[in-house]
């Protein structure tokens, strides 16, 4: 259990010590989170009308597919922005972007596939770096060490 908690709420012994690196991660989290949050908000605010016609690439039903996309693009994006459970919150967004690139836009031109793949690279990078010092994860880890 401690290993899972240490992965999710990084112990920060290996986190970048320079304040500029953490500031960069904060900007990265806020920027990427805000951009994907807009996509999630548009889906959430139109949920009723989208629920019957949303793509169902995983075969779980249109409403379930839309719910998963909203969860990832809206709620997980908020968690990433504040830096709470960042590594776990990144995973649904990363999966959503990969599904969009590989399944939804599989037959589309490269330009349509490139956008979700670019997002996937961002989320993968955040998974490996963690949120940095300016996050709730860092505060939690710091409090846990004390």
Residue 107 in tokens: 């037959």
pLDDT at position 25 over 50:
yes
State what percent of residues in the chain have pLDDT above 90.
79
pLDDT range class, residue 80, cuts 50, 70, 90: very high
The residue-averaged pLDDT of 57-78 equals 97
74's tokens: 């809206």
31-60: average pLDDT: 96
Whether 16 shows a pLDDT value over 50: the answer reads no
**For residues 34 and 39, what is the distance between their CA atoms, to the nearest angstrom?**
9
Assess whether pLDDT exceeds 60 at residue 14. no
**Alpha-carbon distance 129 to 68, whole Å?**
25
Judge whether residue 126 has pLDDT over 90: yes
Q: How much is the mean pLDDT over the chain?
A: 90
The residue ranking higher by pLDDT, 23 or 20, is 23
User: Virtual CA dihedral for 142, 22, 5, 33, nearest 10 degrees?
Assistant: 130
Contact 72, 65 (CB under 8 A): no
Confidence of residue 144 (pLDDT cuts 50, 70, 90): confident
Distance CA 131, CA 26 (A): 7
């Amino acid at each position: 259990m401690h290993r899972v908690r240490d992965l999710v709420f990084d112990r920060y012994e290996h986190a970048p010590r320079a304040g500029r690196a953490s500031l960069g991660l904060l900007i990265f989290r806020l920027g990427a989170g805000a951009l994907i949050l807009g996509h999630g908000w548009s889906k959430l605010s139109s949920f009723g009308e989208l629920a019957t016609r949303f793509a169902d690439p995983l075969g779980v039903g249109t409403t379930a597919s839309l719910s998963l996309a909203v969860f990832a693009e809206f709620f997980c994006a908020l968690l990433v922005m504040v830096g709470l459970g960042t590594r776990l919150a990144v995973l649904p967004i990363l999966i959503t972007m990969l599904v969009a690139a590989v399944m939804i836009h599989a037959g589309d031109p490269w330009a349509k596939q490139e956008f979700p793949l670019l997002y996937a690279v961002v989320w993968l990078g955040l998974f490996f770096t963690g949120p940095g010092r300016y996050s709730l994860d860092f505060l939690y880890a710091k409090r846990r060490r004390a």
